[in-house]
Each structure stands twice: as structure tokens, then as C-alpha cells.
């Protein structure tokens, strides 16, 4: 987004951050509604730099890109870059290194002992669970 966009944010006095819960990166206290975590702090820091107030907007991973495109918020928090997302929205440089691991029941007879790669568990009858709308869901 160009300078005029961010000037509009400054004029409005608030930067809206679309937030889908992704512990420990984005967390929301159910009792207070207060956001915490690395990316919540990053939103607050961005707001401080712009001299505006941060506003967190609840969303889901299924809607985080569409809401940004529709102007419901100015930034999406903790969003992994995928080719499809990069066609739809502009990404900053990465804010952190991020690695994905798979956890599995080591007693599962469908997965060989010492599995070390996705190929080791990419077997018929093995089902992986991921959150809908996440980069892992789209992979």
C-alpha cells in the first residue's frame, strides 16, 4: 500500500489489525478480549510508529485475506505467504522465521518408526489435521 493509504490511517487515528487466533503468535483472552503475542505486539508497535491507536478485529483463517481485500482491516496478523495469497494481497518482508512440524502418535502402526519426512507419513490411511484456511490447509 502506498503512502497515501497510510496517511489515511493516520488521519483516521487507528490502524485495524485482522487477528485470527494462532497461539503463541496471536492470542485473545476470552475473559477480557485483550490480545497478546508476538504479532499483537507488532501491531501495537506499528500503531505507535504511526502515532495511532491499534484496533484488533476478530477474524478466522478462512476470512483473513478476504477481509483485508474488503478493507475491513489494514493489516493481517501472522499470515504466511502462499502463492495464492501473494496474488491477492501485498506482503511485507517476513517478521520472523517460521517452521512447521508434524506431530503424530509414535504408537500409530501406519507410520514407520523414526519417520523423518512428509514422505514417510504420506501413506494411504494416514490423515493429517490442520486448521481450515491456514497456509497448511492450502498446501
Per-residue pLDDT tens over the stretch 26-51 = 999 999 999 999 999 999 999 999 99
Task: Give the pTM.
Answer: 0.71
Domain that holds residue 76: 3-88
pLDDT for residue 13: 98
| Number of independent structural domains in the chain | 2
Better-predicted residue by pLDDT, 55 or 1: 55
Strands (E), the chain: 14-19, 27-28, 35-36, 53-58, 75-76
**CATH number of the domain enclosing 74:** 3.40.190.10
* Whether residues 15 and 75 fall in one domain: yes
pLDDT for residue 30: 95
d(CA 56, CA 39): 11
Residue 14 domain flag: yes
Residue 93 domain flag: no
* Whether residues 15 and 62 fall in one domain: yes
* Whether residues 83 and 21 fall in one domain: yes
- Is 1's pLDDT higher than 60? no
Which of 17-31, 75-89, 111-125 is the most confident on average?
17-31
* Whether residues 84 and 103 fall in one domain: no
Amino acid at each position: 500500500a502506498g503512502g497515501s493509504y497510510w496517511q489515511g490511517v493516520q488521519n483516521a487515528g487507528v490502524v485495524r489489525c485482522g487477528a485470527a487466533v494462532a497461539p503463541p503468535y496471536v492470542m485473545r483472552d476470552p475473559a477480557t478480549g485483550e490480545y497478546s503475542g508476538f504479532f499483537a505486539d507488532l501491531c501495537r508497535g506499528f500503531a505507535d510508529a504511526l502515532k495511532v491507536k491499534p484496533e484488533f478485529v476478530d477474524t478466522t483463517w478462512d476470512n483473513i485475506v478476504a477481509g483485508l481485500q474488503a478493507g475491513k482491516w489494514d493489516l493481517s496478523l501472522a499470515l504466511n505467504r502462499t502463492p495464492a495469497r501473494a496474488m491477492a494481497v501485498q506482503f511485507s518482508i517476513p517478521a520472523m522465521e517460521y517452521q512447521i512440524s508434524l506431530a503424530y502418535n509414535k504408537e500409530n502402526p501406519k507410520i514407520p518408526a523414526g519417520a523423518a519426512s512428509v514422505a514417510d507419513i504420506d501413506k494411504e490411511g494416514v490423515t493429517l489435521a490442520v486448521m481450515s484456511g491456514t497456509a497448511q490447509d492450502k498446501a
